Amino acid sequence: MKNLSVILPTMNEEHAPSIIRQVYSVLGRDTEVIVIDKSTPEMRRPLEETGAKVVIQKTKGYENALMEGFRMANGDIIASIDPDGTYAVEDLKRVVNELKNDEEFAFIAGSRLERLPKDAMTPTIRFGNWFLKSMFNILYRSRMGDVMNGIFAMRKDAFDTIRYMDAYRAGTPFFEIELVRRGFKIRSIPISYKPRSGSKSKISKAKPFYGVTIAYHAVRYARDYSPLLLFGSIGLVLIIMGLVLGAFVFSNYLQTGTLNEIGRALIAFMLITVGFLSVISGLILDLLLEIEKNIVRKR
Ligand SMILES: Nc1nc2c(ncn2[C@@H]2O[C@H](COP(=O)(O)OP(=O)(O)O)[C@@H](O)[C@H]2O)c(=O)[nH]1
Ligand SMILES: [Mg+2]
């Protein structure tokens, strides 16, 4: 039986003490539980009374809280659950068991989007989650049902490859992006999710802005991971737009016999040129990546 560490990030969560107790009862008393806390002293005391290791967070943000906890963890499997009352500890157990029985995958997360109750997210947040997971799956050739997961588990040896990194502000996708870039396989299983009750969300003051930051990081690191896919698809979209616009200009020319849409013709020409340049950039970057891989292999 592999031993397990469970990390819980907390920032004044009233449900957290009860969730820690559930972790011990559902996953076993020998589970290593580490709480990385940014609460007021009054909110911290009940956490300490559970017997878990409670560490005051030194850094800032959710991603760094998790990194602090993971670095302290001793388990062969390192898992995390948001103790805000929206996730079930039974689902954490399912995710951990799934990982234990799977040699191929190094990271398994719980996905909320398949069985999402109607009142659990606003339409904007729901769309944002769908958009981020779809973008992630295309850029990193994965099949995640959800990438903003409050429950996930990974193998210690996978975490060791990113142990000394400074986490950038991308929520759970930080771990997903970095592990996929290092060649690990990741997947998700459906879990339940409840609307938040009591206090408000803590992760960001402006969720849409947070979402944009995550999308930015996903694109930025995809540039190094699959440049041809990224620049190739941008290029293709531009070329298609240029061709469609060009076709309008041309049909107008055929009908009237004079070329009176110089502005549109120029834009079409530019779209096609920039599109080609983007595809070529993708090809060159892809070639460079291939050369780099060969050099690393030969060393
Ligand atoms: N230690 C720590 N915990 C945090 C921080 N930001 C959020 N959390 C905790 O991380 C979990 C997820 O955050 P939450 O606000 O529920 O994010 P949401 O589910 O995306 O709305 C909750 O348990 C929060 O209390 C932080 O900066 N530091
Ligand atoms: Mg939450």
What residues does each domain of the chain span?
4-225, 227-298
Give the closest residue (by CA) to ligand 1 atom 21. Answer: 201
Q: What is the mean pLDDT of each run of 10 residues along the chain (299 residues)?
A: 88 97 98 98 98 97 98 98 97 98 97 92 94 96 96 98 96 97 96 92 93 96 90 96 95 89 94 98 93 84
Ligand 1 in reach of 194 Cβ (< 6 A): no
CA of 12 to the centre of ligand 2 (A): 12
Q: Please report the pLDDT score of residue 2 as a whole number.
A: 62
Ligand 1 in reach of 54 Cβ (< 6 A): no
The model's pTM is 0.87
Give the closest residue (by CA) to ligand 1 atom 11. Answer: 82
Closest ligand 1 atom to the C-alpha of 11?
25
Ligand 1 in reach of 207 Cβ (< 6 A): no
Ligand 1 in reach of 36 Cβ (< 6 A): yes
Closest ligand 1 atom to the C-alpha of 61?
27
- What topology does CATH give the domain 4-225? Spore Coat Polysaccharide Biosynthesis Protein SpsA; Chain A (3.90.550)
Among residues 203, 172, 171, the alpha carbon closest in space to that of 84 is found at 203
